[in-house]
């Protein structure tokens, strides 16, 4: 195999596919990028068996071939090459020569035969979103997935529910203390879909999406030929010259709609940024070891945030518009801050029933809904 690339093209491709390289594995083939130039196009692929990324790379094929090469060492070399042409060639023992200007590297590769290609999936029907929209809805929900996927419930909570109903995509994530929901309108109607996408996949997808509002992502919900269950087995994201294929999480997601209520006894309208900065200051008094809540006291026209720990105390008042009764309620400050950070609006509406019931932060059309469980506190 002998290929010629521009360094910048090579660098971009390596940086895209390396997102699917597992951080820890005992199988050295999974640490490899598979370079396929057996046809007229050059593709780079990485695949950790859950998540696979393939990207087509601009380059000249002098001699066809294929090889698997350790991602870490290959990407470090590529990154440090001069900004110029790079010639990559391999010999019959799977050694790879990388030549650029006067620098010449020689590293050991592997036969591509052991590399597991991306699963063959049907790609017929798809929805499309702008890259920016997809990035935003992931960013605005991903923080409330569960990081502990050891139990079967934990496994479900480590993903996000993607639901399509007519021309609406609804994305839900939750852990044991909170729920985040985002809705976006699609340009066209689509059949009903309800799948759980691994959080890990979504975290890598946002890193790889480099486009903005004018660049499109096509999302396929699909099944591969070996899949015996009902519904879909895989989700595929296609954008630019890159394809991301991920397994879905099997199982039945939580019935979130039954937890959502529109009853409230207090409705608060407050400047998002002011509230966020105030809670951020309060967290200075939140000690890792004694996890004190913030206490929120709502009276007419005023919200008081208080916290008291072994570090000291903090107390701050901010202006607000209130409808309904006065309330005193405790929260884990991090959960409130995560939701406030995910919202772009200048003001937010916060709905509460009592000190034991979930609190809702949502907009009028429920394009976003954040639900946070309060915590007990002692005054």
- Our CB check for a copy of itself shows the closer of 57 and 314 to be 314
CA dist 361 to 132, 273, 328, 369, Å? Answer: 23, 14, 17, 6
Contact 216, 231 (CB under 8 A): no
User: Cβ 108 to a copy of itself, closest distance in Å?
Assistant: 6
Binding region for a copy of itself (CB under 8 A): 73, 76-77, 80-82, 102-108, 277-278, 280-281, 284-285, 311-318
87, 100 in Cβ contact below 8 A?
Answer: yes
Q: How far is the CB of 224 from a copy of itself (least distance, A)?
A: 36
Nearest CA-CA partner of 137 in 347, 367, 374:
367
Q: Minimum CB separation from a copy of itself for residue 19, in Å?
A: 21
The 10 Å Cβ neighbour count of residue 139 is 15
Q: Residue 101 or residue 185: which is nearer to a copy of itself going by CB?
A: 101
Cα distances (angstroms) measured from residue 255 to each of 40, 115, 227, 240: 49, 39, 25, 36
Cβ-based nearer residue to a copy of itself, 63 or 280: 280
Q: Which residue lies nearer to a copy of itself by CB, 105 or 254?
A: 105
Find the shortest distance in angstroms from Cβ 278 to a copy of itself: 7
Find the shortest distance in angstroms from Cβ 104 to a copy of itself.
5
Q: Which is nearer to a copy of itself, 49 or 311 (CB)?
A: 311
CB of 97 to a copy of itself, least distance (A): 10
The DSSP-derived string for 37-88 is ESSSSEEEEEE-SSEEEEEEE--EEEE-EEEEEEHHHHHHHHHHS-SSEEEE
The smaller minimum CB distance to a copy of itself, of residues 72 and 207, is found at: 72
CA 42, CA 31: separation in Å to the nearest integer? 19
């Amino acid at each position: 195999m002998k290929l010629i690339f521009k360094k910048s093209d090579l660098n971009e491709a390596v940086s895209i596919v390396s997102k699917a390289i597992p951080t820890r594995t005992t199988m050295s083939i999974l640490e490899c990028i598979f370079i396929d130039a057996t046809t007229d196009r050059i593709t780079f692929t990485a695949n950790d068996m859950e998540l696979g990324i393939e990207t087509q790379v601009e380059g000249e094929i002098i001699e066809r071939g294929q090889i698997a090469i350790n991602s870490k060492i290959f990407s470090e070399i590529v990154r440090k090459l001069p900004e110029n042409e790079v010639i990559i060639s391999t010999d019959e023992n799977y050694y790879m020569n990388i030549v650029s200007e006067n620098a010449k590297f020689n590293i050991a590769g592997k036969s591509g035969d052991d590399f597991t290609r991306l699963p063959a999936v049907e790609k017929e029907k798809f929805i499309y979103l702008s890259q920016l929209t997809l990035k935003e809805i992931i960013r605005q929900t991903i923080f409330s997935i569960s990081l502990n996927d050891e139990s079967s419930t934990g496994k479900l909570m480590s993903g996000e529910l993607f639901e399509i109903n007519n021309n609406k995509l609804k994305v839900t994530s939750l852990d044991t203390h909170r729920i985040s929901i985002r809705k976006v309108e699609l340009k066209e109607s689509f059949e009903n879909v309800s799948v759980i996408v691994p959080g890990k996949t979504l975290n890598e997808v946002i890193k790889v999406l480099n486009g903005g509002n004018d660049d499109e992502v096509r999302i396929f919900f699909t099944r591969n030929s070996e899949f015996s269950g009902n519904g879909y087995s895989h989700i595929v994201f296609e954008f630019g010259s890159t394809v991301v294929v991920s397994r879905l999480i099997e199982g039945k997601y939580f019935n979130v709609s039954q937890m959502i209520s529109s009853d409230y006894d207090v409705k608060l309208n407050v400047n998002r940024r002011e509230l966020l900065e105030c809670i951020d200051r309060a967290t200075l008094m939140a000690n890792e070891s004694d996890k004190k809540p913030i206490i929120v006291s709502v009276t007419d026209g005023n919200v008081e945030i208080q916290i008291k720990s072994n570090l000291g105390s903090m107390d701050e008042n901010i202006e607000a518009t209130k409808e309904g009764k006065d309330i005193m309620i405790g929260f884990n400050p991090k959960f409130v801050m995560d939701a406030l950070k995910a919202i772009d609006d200048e003001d937010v509406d916060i709905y509460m029933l009592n000190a034991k019931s979930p609190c809702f932060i949502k907009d009028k059309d429920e394009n976003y809904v954040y639900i946070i469980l309060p915590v007990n506190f002692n005054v």
